[in-house]
Chain A
């Protein structure tokens, strides 16, 4: 039984209480404080959260799929009970006057919001080094990064502080840290989960996503918060996700291996991890098929036009007028206020992306950059469609080109940092669901494999991921 179901069933059946689970989480959050992964939590608030579940009538509680399950929430998802900072000075101390739809839905499902989780500022980064509140450390090796931008959530789950966590993806920000930390990260189809209350980064790419130590953990949390939301015009008119029953084999399923995701110079450990996954697929009765996604190499440049362009507009609201930190510039007038508030409130990576995004939309450059990127985006999506049309039920790829890298290794070279997302960001551009599952370790560091499925095919993708997970010893060193 998964960690989530273990707690939820015990609380539902009255064998334990949400308060007991919350208490346990509080002590684990204390023990893992050195990771710098959790933000803004307190034992009192945890108790109050748990009390809501424990006060519910037994019959109501019996219907809660996540009764008493403590969940860490990436700090770019708004909550009314604690600050939502987005890892930024500009929102330091900001407490949202409304809750995200996913928070309301998780609470209705009985979940307990355990803490907010550290992140790259405004979810911009691949290492969780770009937080105004300090970098997050990899649970297995503090000198390394946990990945990002949802590194705080990933580290908390990997370290066993919470059984599940929410992250958000714009270009792989959940699958990539899941892979680095040796846990499961699920990115749903675009529009499957409401973005209302997720602080926008790249609105056409953003997706609230989940972490667990098993596919089942992450999938249950995803299912509980999925479904159409009248407050988000980009959610799909679909009822909540219904998970498939677990499967023991992969018979009848075809897994495409896109050649572009297996370059000749692929990291040897990553390659070995994928070989192990491919072998497992075959042993479970699945079929392997070579495919090509010819535009893959253009995904990262496409992403680094579209995401910053949207971000530049999305982050214009942080102007020091209505909320957040205000800094008054030397001239004392409004323009000085804007420039000082934004110039000092945003960190280096966020400022770079705002400037790039402003540049690619500005007069004279729109066609060469933004319009071109939209066209290439369509080609990337078409690549995936062709592969699925050719008979692939899903695609199997590495999640990351390397295991977790060292802190500081890429902070001075933005392009090198962006390339850490080369295998994950095409999925966001196409809006597809994908999951990263651990496949083993290389030199002690976790490795992940990624399954990518057609739009809205989460249920089949997740049952296949669970079968694969069961067949692999993620703790074992790959060769």
Chain B
């Protein structure tokens, strides 16, 4: 390829606190407009910010989960600009002394394999409100419920080399942050937002090309799409002898295109200076270590542990470790006595489809372990167990009792099996003749027919001797 793509990402993530960053208003989505507001987040004259301890804690945990150094001293700064959803005329952020710097996110590049992407910095700030342009004809309407929501901004190094890598990076970043319970990273509700910087250059060129910023992507897939479109635009531009301007491009998901923002990007002069309302944020190393220690096991180490401890494949371990509730559920089933491989199959099969629909597991780990045990002990067949499973969802019934009620307990009793076998033989005279004529492989067909006849109840191991016996005559 004649061009190398260089991408860096700026990701804004809302933190899962009860209250806002600098005031006691509730931090929640979906309330009627301007009902979660107070003097502080309305920017009323005389109001003052006081930082939320939990936001600091979550940001510290996020930073450590991304391998960053968390600084014992950081400074809140005012970023000055006018916008109607920015109540104070400045955003409280961090500038030259951020909370954390220097981390790495490891992810799987489709082109380059395992890559470490540098995290330049992670800093704390407050969210702005929302400007609604379609609510009142000819006007802009402002909802300040979101104003003051705690955010961390995570800035990557320009280490990504393709739109697909950008997507892989985001997927892992989200996995880690959700794991750490720092954020729900819900892009639809705006709790994770991505701005991308992209430029192209000739491979081997040490200098970066002029970059464009791409905004307004509402899913990771769209980040990838937008970056492809923008990369192709830049390539076409340069190859036709043009020049890339430093612009901000807005992605339109409906048309799959990017277009430059209408407003001229004047060189932004945010006039950052330390916020005099907020003395330095001073953390002790001990406190930082305590927050790190309180982090749950993160996806990467968990995946590795699953592979070694449970002897499951890298793929299975990856799927099971991708989300904490899934991993926890899997381990609880194993804990309750089920064999790991069967547990993995059940979780990735039946259980996962329910989880994907409802966001939770409808069958308790102990009962699923019991069901798995019934299969292992030969009490029910795997086929029968899969018929038992739906009956267990959102109920407390014992798996064995359900199997019994449904008449799915395996039948190994020769008399009962004999009746099904005779019915099967009677219904398939030509196969019987062929078997007797030496086509031994038809045994499988007869076992299957008996299983079918029995509605899965027949114990396949016991069926064969009965068949052998009856076919002799």
Q: A residues bordering B, Cβ < 8 Å?
A: 77-78, 84, 86, 91, 94, 96-98, 100, 195-200, 202-204, 230-234, 309-310, 312-313, 315-319, 321-323, 334, 338, 358, 361-363, 366, 370
B42 at the interface (CB under 8 A from A): yes
Nearest CB of chain B from residue A360's CB, rounded to whole Å: 9
Q: Which residue of A lies closest to B269 (CB)?
A: A363
Known: A317-B88, A319-B89, A338-B82. A233 touches B51 (CB 8 A): yes
Q: Does A199 contact B45, Cβ atoms closer than 8 Å? A: yes
B439 at the interface (CB under 8 A from A): no
Point out the residues of chain A lying under 8 angstroms from B45, CB to CB. Answer: 78, 84, 86, 91, 94, 96, 199-200, 317-318, 323
Point out the residues of chain B lying under 8 angstroms from A318, CB to CB. Answer: 45
Q: Does A196 contact B47, Cβ atoms closer than 8 Å? A: yes
Point out the residues of chain B lying under 8 angstroms from A338, CB to CB. Answer: 82
B140 at the interface (CB under 8 A from A): yes
CA distance A317 to B277 in the complex (A): 15
CA distance A94 to B278 in the complex (A): 27
Identify the interface centre among B48, B49, B89, B90: most chain A CB within 10 Å of its CB.
B48
Known: A196-B46, A316-B80, A317-B43. A204 touches B88 (CB 8 A): no
CA distance A98 to B49 in the complex (A): 15
Interface residues of B in 90-144 (CB under 8 A from A): 90, 140, 142, 144
Point out the residues of chain A lying under 8 angstroms from B142, CB to CB. Answer: 321-322
Q: Does A334 contact B140, Cβ atoms closer than 8 Å? A: yes
Nearest CB of chain B from residue A247's CB, rounded to whole Å: 34
Given contact pairs A310-B276, A317-B87, A322-B144, enumerate 4 new A-B contacts (beta carbons under 8 Å).
Answer: A86-B45, A96-B44, A198-B46, A321-B142
Q: Does A316 contact B89, Cβ atoms closer than 8 Å? A: yes
Q: Does B276 contact A361, Cβ atoms closer than 8 Å? A: no
Interface residues of B in 64-82 (CB under 8 A from A): 78, 80, 82
CA distance A366 to B49 in the complex (A): 24
Q: Which residue of B lies closest to A235 (CB)?
A: B48
Point out the residues of chain B lying under 8 angstroms from A203, CB to CB. Answer: 275-277
Known: A98-B39, A313-B89, A321-B84. A200 touches B50 (CB 8 A): no
Ordered by A's residue number, 24 sampled pairs between the chains whose C-beta atoms are within 8 Å are A77-B46, A84-B45, A86-B45, A94-B45, A97-B44, A100-B46, A203-B277, A230-B50, A231-B50, A232-B48, A232-B50, A233-B277, A233-B278, A234-B279, A313-B90, A317-B89, A319-B82, A319-B89, A321-B87, A321-B142, A322-B42, A322-B43, A323-B42, A363-B269
Ranked 7 nearest A-B pairs via Cβ: A316-B89, A204-B276, A203-B276, A361-B271, A197-B46, A199-B45, A78-B46
B220 at the interface (CB under 8 A from A): no
Q: Which residue of A lies closest to B80 (CB)?
A: A313
CA distance A77 to B45 in the complex (A): 9
What's the dominant secondary structure at chain B's contact region? loop
Looking at the complex, which one of A96, A204, A319 makes contact with B46 (CB distance below 8 Å)? Answer: A96
Q: Does B48 contact A231, Cβ atoms closer than 8 Å? A: yes
B435 at the interface (CB under 8 A from A): no
A-B contact count (CB 8 A): 109
Nearest CB of chain B from residue A350's CB, rounded to whole Å: 14
Nearest CB of chain B from residue A439's CB, rounded to whole Å: 34
Q: Does A323 contact B44, Cβ atoms closer than 8 Å? A: yes
Interface residues of B in 272-315 (CB under 8 A from A): 272-273, 275-279
Known: A203-B277, A310-B276, A362-B269. A316 touches B82 (CB 8 A): yes
Nearest CB of chain B from residue A77's CB, rounded to whole Å: 7
Point out the residues of chain A lying under 8 angstroms from B51, CB to CB. Answer: 233
Identify the interface centre among B43, B80, B275, B276: most chain A CB within 10 Å of its CB.
B276
CA distance A477 to B42 in the complex (A): 52
CA distance A312 to B82 in the complex (A): 12
CA distance A338 to B89 in the complex (A): 11
CA distance A199 to B39 in the complex (A): 12
CA distance A95 to B278 in the complex (A): 26
Point out the residues of chain A lying under 8 angstroms from B90, CB to CB. Answer: 313, 316
Interface residues of B in 168-214 (CB under 8 A from A): none
CA distance A202 to B277 in the complex (A): 10
Q: Does A361 contact B80, Cβ atoms closer than 8 Å? A: yes
Nearest CB of chain B from residue A274's CB, rounded to whole Å: 33
Q: Does A200 contact B269, Cβ atoms closer than 8 Å? A: no
Nearest CB of chain B from residue A124's CB, rounded to whole Å: 14
Known: A196-B46, A316-B88, A317-B43. A233 touches B269 (CB 8 A): no
Q: Does A313 contact B273, Cβ atoms closer than 8 Å? A: yes
Point out the residues of chain A lying under 8 angstroms from B269, CB to CB. Answer: 362-363
Q: Does A366 contact B47, Cβ atoms closer than 8 Å? A: no
Identify the interface centre among A84, A97, A231: most chain B CB within 10 Å of its CB.
A231
Q: Which residue of A lies closest to B51 (CB)?
A: A233
Point out the residues of chain B lying under 8 angstroms from A323, CB to CB. Answer: 42, 44-45
Point out the residues of chain A lying under 8 angstroms from B88, CB to CB. Answer: 313, 316-317
Nearest CB of chain B from residue A351's CB, rounded to whole Å: 15
Q: Which residue of B lies closest to A77 (CB)?
A: B46
Q: Does B46 contact A313, Cβ atoms closer than 8 Å? A: no
Looking at the complex, which one of A97, A232, A315, A370 makes contact with B39 (CB distance below 8 Å)? Answer: A97
CA distance A232 to B48 in the complex (A): 6
Task: Mark interface residues in B33-61 (1 if CB within 8 Å of A CB, else 0).
Answer: 00000010011111111110000000000
Nearest CB of chain B from residue A336's CB, rounded to whole Å: 12
Known: A231-B50, A233-B50. A322 touches B78 (CB 8 A): no
CA distance A195 to B278 in the complex (A): 12
Nearest CB of chain B from residue A326's CB, rounded to whole Å: 12
CA distance A179 to B360 in the complex (A): 72
CA distance A391 to B272 in the complex (A): 40
CA distance A245 to B256 in the complex (A): 78
CA distance A167 to B90 in the complex (A): 27
Q: Which residue of A lies closest to B140 (CB)?
A: A334
Nearest CB of chain A from residue B304's CB, rounded to whole Å: 43
CA distance A109 to B78 in the complex (A): 36
CA distance A282 to B188 in the complex (A): 75
Point out the residues of chain B lying under 8 angstroms from A77, CB to CB. Answer: 46
Identify the interface centre among B44, B49, B84, B278: most chain A CB within 10 Å of its CB.
B44
Point out the residues of chain A lying under 8 angstroms from B276, CB to CB. Answer: 202-204, 234, 310
Nearest CB of chain B from residue A148's CB, rounded to whole Å: 19
Nearest CB of chain A from residue B215's CB, rounded to whole Å: 20
Identify the interface centre among A84, A197, A315: most chain B CB within 10 Å of its CB.
A197
Point out the residues of chain A lying under 8 angstroms from B82, CB to CB. Answer: 316, 319, 338
Q: Does B277 contact A234, Cβ atoms closer than 8 Å? A: yes
Interface residues of B in 133-175 (CB under 8 A from A): 140, 142, 144
Point out the residues of chain B lying under 8 angstroms from A316, CB to CB. Answer: 80, 82, 88-90
CA distance A197 to B272 in the complex (A): 24
Q: Does B84 contact A334, Cβ atoms closer than 8 Å? A: yes
CA distance A309 to B44 in the complex (A): 19
CA distance A318 to B82 in the complex (A): 11
Q: Does A362 contact B46, Cβ atoms closer than 8 Å? A: no
CA distance A215 to B412 in the complex (A): 103
CA distance A354 to B267 in the complex (A): 20
Q: Which residue of B lies closest to A339 (CB)?
A: B82
Task: Mark interface residues in B221-251 (1 if CB within 8 Å of A CB, else 0).
Answer: 0000000000000000000000000000000
CA distance A171 to B46 in the complex (A): 18
Point out the residues of chain A lying under 8 angstroms from B47, CB to CB. Answer: 98, 196-197
Q: Does B273 contact A361, Cβ atoms closer than 8 Å? A: yes
Identify the interface centre among B46, B87, B144: most chain A CB within 10 Å of its CB.
B46
CA distance A153 to B279 in the complex (A): 30
Identify the interface centre among B51, B273, B278: most chain A CB within 10 Å of its CB.
B273
Q: Which residue of A lies closest to B138 (CB)?
A: A332
Looking at the complex, which one of B39, B46, B271 makes contact with A200 (CB distance below 8 Å)? Answer: B46
Known: A233-B50, A316-B89. A98 touches B44 (CB 8 A): yes
